[in-house]
Amino acid sequence: MKVLVPIKRVVDFNVKIRVRADGSGVDLANVKMSMNPFDEIAVEEAIRLREAGTAEEIIAVSIGPQKTQETIRTALAMGADRGIFISCDDELEPLGVARLLKCVVEAESPELVILGKQAIDNDCNQTGQMLAALLGWPQGTFASRLELDGGKARVTREVDGGLQTVILKMPCIVTSDLRLNEPRYASLPNIMKAKKKPLEEKPAADYGVDIAPRLKVLKTQEPAAREAGEIVANAAELVEKLQNEAGVI
């Protein structure tokens, strides 16, 4: 079975985001970038499927500027077999990403596509669902457990009311949640081996799909600074301030 894992290069989750002075977006100059954490979980799950003898080949695919190849190499160091890099310097919206991924899926014919439920830079949580709609495939989103058996995928989903289990006919789309697994660290020997693994590069324009943006960001601004707290003497004073000053009760 072939597994396709789309991944995204984002600002590292440990970095404090800075907004440009003119409010035109996030300042990415000299900022540490890394693989989207939810996509790391997806790569790990694909590797575990191969270790269990269920999957035979893992393909990591990513879209972005030239430095995105570093992120694909990280996936290869974790254990992916080969990479596909779609070069594109423009900022892509989820629909554009889904359209490009659809072309890759049609060319590679995987039985499973597993990706992070969302990217931590825009939190859109749309690409997996849009890709499933474009392909006409069943989908299991927010997966905290994945089991494959007899051409079917049993996906345990994290929903507002608890857990929901769905059984999908493969090929299918699965988006990973935090509790699906804990990603491994790439060892030094595997990092060295990743440099020799095949990485195919192709411009986004060669796929012939419409990836033009539909949305326009008017302004980006920092969240309002939190005001300092206030210590009260007793519960009665707290209630009085909540009623008369905060107006919340």
For the chain, domain boundaries = 2-223
The answer to whether 167 and 152 have CB atoms below 8 angstroms apart is yes
Q: How confident is the model at residue 245 (pLDDT cuts 50, 70, 90)?
A: confident
Check residue 179 and report its DSSP letter.
Answer: G
State whether residue 174 is helix, strand or coil: strand
Residue 3 has pLDDT above 90, yes or no: yes
Q: How far is CA 64 from CA 16, 69, 91, 201, 246, in A?
A: 22, 9, 8, 11, 46
What's the rounded Cα separation, in Å, for the pair 12 and 31? 8
Is residue 99 within 8 Å of residue 211, measured between CB atoms? yes
Q: What does the alpha-carbon distance between residue 247 and residue 249 come to, in Å, rounded to a whole number? A: 6
Q: What is the pLDDT of residue 216?
A: 87
What pLDDT score was predicted for residue 228?
A: 83
Record the pTM.
0.87
Cβ atoms 62, 85 nearer than 8 A: yes
Give percent of the chain with pLDDT exceeding 90: 79
User: What does the pLDDT look like over 55-84, one tens digit per residue?
Assistant: 999 999 999 999 999 999 999 999 999 999
pLDDT tier for residue 221 given thresholds of 50, 70 and 90: confident
Q: And the tokens for 80?
A: 């992916």
The pLDDT score that the predictor gives to residue 53 is 94
Is residue 105's pLDDT more than 90? yes
How, if at all, do strands 33-35 and 9-11 pair?
antiparallel
* Amino acid at the residue 52: A
Beta-strand runs (E) in the chain: 2-6, 9-11, 33-35, 57-64, 82-87, 112-116, 139-149, 152-159, 162-169, 172-176, 199-203
Q: Could you tell me which CATH class the domain 2-223 is placed in?
A: alpha beta
pLDDT confidence bin for 227, thresholds 50/70/90: confident
pLDDT at 114: 98
Report, as an integer, the average pLDDT of 96-121. 96
Q: What is the pLDDT of residues 165-199, one digit of tens each?
A: 999 999 999 999 999 999 999 999 999 999 999 99
